[in-house]
Structures are given as C-alpha cells and as structure tokens.
C-alpha cells in the first residue's frame, strides 16, 4: 500500500475495565502504522455516549487523531448540540455522522429521522469545524426502497455537507467499483473509502452480515462453514480473502481502507503487513 492512501481503524467502546485495557494495547500496536485516525462507534439512542467520549479522550491524550461516531436516531437537537460542543472544545476535528438503528422497544425516533438531517445540523451549529464522514452502502442499505433511492439518499448527505464516506463492509469488489461509478455519474465526487471487515469467527460474521445486509458470497460461506469450529482455518482463509480484496480495491483506485477491527489488532495488522505497509 502506498502512503498516499488513507487508512483508519474503528473500535467500539468496551463495557469493562479489562476491555478498556485491552483496547489500549490494541491501539498501541495499530498506532505503529500511523493511521489517519481511530474512530469509535456510538450506540444508537446514546447508549454508549459516555463510554464513546471516554475512549475518544484517551485516543486524543495519546496524541492520535480521534473520530467519534455520532448517531442521531432517538436523540434531540439539544443533546446533539451538547455533544458537538464537547468534541469541539476537545479539539476533535472529524466526526462520523450516522442515523443509527434504534434498538427494538426503545422509545421514539427523536428529532432526527435520517443522517442527512444530522449532517445539516452539524454544519449549521459548527460551520466548517468538522470533517464529516457519512456511511455508504455498495450493496445497498437493507431499508432502501431501491438502489437508486439509496444513491439519492447518499447524495443528500453529501449535499448537506459531508466531506467523505466510509462504506459498509462487503466481500465483492465489483459492488464497490459499480457503486463508485454510479455515485460519480450522480455527481457525487467525495472520497468513498471501503470499510474492511477482517474475518475472525464465522458465526459472528454471519450474524453481523444478516443484520446489516452485507453479502457473504456463497463460495466464501460454504468454505467458512466447512471449517466448523476450526478457527485457525477460518482466520487463515479470512486473511487470504480479505488481503486479496484490499489489493484489488487499492489497485482499482480506492482512496484508502477503513478497518472494522472489533477491538483486535492482529487481523488488521497482518492484512496491512501483507499489503506491504
């Protein structure tokens, strides 16, 4: 991978002190790759608000660039304004702006319905202070009424002021290239960085993929299933497949890679090593 490509690593805020300690060690390892930023997810409805902020503080204190995710569903303008001001005061410069998915049974959707409304709100409240990332879906968002509508919605987020996008993960490079082509035809010019999900455990990957609509191609699913509980083979296969995917994406012009680390350094590090970082 050449150094002109941007790469970044995503974490979730751990629930236990042990998880927090483990994440410090994970960051230390990944920091050696000098990423553009470390991002931290935010539970929809504000369920991880305090923990996200705490991890962002730690990343900042370690001297790295930190990008909090901020999901708006279930929230109020007042609450989002408070969070934005806190991040601004901390010197945070990048935010990943999302709608989020309200957990079932959890109250009303709040004062924002879609992510484009959050992007507009951030711009109105804080001007050009933040670099705003939004989500994009090469295999389409599961709730989109059609691929074209999904693209129109993506464009709406960019028109509202997003500077760049990170995609949902996928294992089919053609879906990404096709999406880029369509987005460009639609007049969307911002960088669209592929989200990369290393494969660590098949049951977990299958669960995530069912929930978010990311396809595991049949040949991959069948092979992974055939390994059963043999996680060593799952991981070896996963490293080969995902490294090849990254090579294809970068060779095809992807501006960088964003790794969904699941708070583990090993798989992302090994993929980056194989890519020649």
Least Cβ distance, residue 96 to ligand FAD (angstroms): 6
* Phi/psi-derived region of residue 276, left when phi > 0, alpha when psi is between -120 and 50, beta in every other case: left
Would residue 270 show up in a list of annotated catalytic residues for this protein?
A: no
Among positions 38, 53, 150, 171, the unique one binding ligand FAD when judged by CB under 6 A: 150
Q: Does 42 bind ligand FAD (CB under 6 A)?
A: yes
Spatial contact of 277 and 269, defined as CB atoms under 8 Å apart: no
> Between 27 and 99, whose beta carbon lies closer to ligand FAD?
99
Q: Which span (20-28, 83-91, 92-100, 226-234) binds ligand FAD, by CB under 6 A?
A: 92-100
**Nearest CA among 114, 207, 208 for reference residue 169:** 208
Nearest Cα to Cα of residue 195 among 221, 225, 165, 164? 165
Q: Which of 23, 56, 67, 98 binds ligand FAD (CB under 6 A)?
A: 98
Taking a C-beta distance cutoff of 8 angstroms, is the pair 40, 56 a contact?
Answer: yes
Q: Cβ neighbours of residue 116 under 8 Å, at least 6 residues apart?
A: 153, 156, 157, 159, 160
Distance separating alpha carbons of residues 73 and 181, to the nearest angstrom? 30
Catalytic option among 10, 117, 133, 139: 10
For ligand FAD, what does the binding mask look like between residues 178 and 197, x meaning CB under 6 A?
A: -----------------x--
Q: Which residues lie near ligand FAD (CB under 6 A)?
A: 41-44, 69, 71, 96, 98-101, 114-116, 135, 141, 143-144, 149-150, 153, 157, 166, 168, 195
């Amino acid at each position: 991978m050449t150094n002109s490509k941007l790469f970044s690593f995503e974490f979730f805020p751990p629930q236990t002190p042990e998880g927090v300690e483990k994440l410090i060690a994970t960051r230390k390892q990944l920091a050696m790759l000098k990423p553009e930023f470390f991002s931290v997810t935010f539970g929809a409805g504000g369920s991880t608000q305090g923990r996200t902020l705490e991890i962002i503080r730690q990343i900042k204190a370690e001297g790295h660039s930190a990008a909090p995710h901020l999901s708006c569903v279930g929230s109020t303008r007042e609450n989002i304004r408070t969070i934005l001001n806190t991040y601004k005061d901390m010197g945070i410069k990048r935010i990943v702006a999302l709608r989020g998915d309200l957990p079932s049974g959890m109250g009303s959707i709040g004062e924002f319905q879609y992510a484009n409304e959050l992007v507009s709100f951030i711009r109105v409240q804080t001007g050009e202070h933040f670099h705003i990332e939004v989500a994009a879906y090469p295999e389409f968002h599961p709730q989109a009424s059609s691929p074209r509508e999904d693209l129109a919605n993506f464009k709406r987020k960019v028109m509202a002021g997003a500077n760049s996008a990170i995609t949902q993960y996928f294992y089919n490079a053609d879906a990404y290239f096709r999406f880029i082509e369509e987005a460009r035809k639609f007049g969307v010019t911002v960088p669209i960085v592929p989200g990369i999900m290393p494969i660590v455990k098949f049951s977990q990957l299958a669960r995530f993929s069912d929930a978010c609509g990311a396809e595991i191609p049949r040949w991959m699913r069948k092979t992974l299933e055939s390994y059963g509980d043999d996680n060593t083979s799952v991981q070896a296969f996963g490293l080969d497949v995902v490294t090849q995917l990254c090579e294809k994406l970068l060779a095809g012009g992807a501006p960088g890679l964003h790794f969904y680390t699941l708070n583990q350094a090993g798989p992302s590090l090994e993929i980056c090593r194989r890519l020649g970082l």
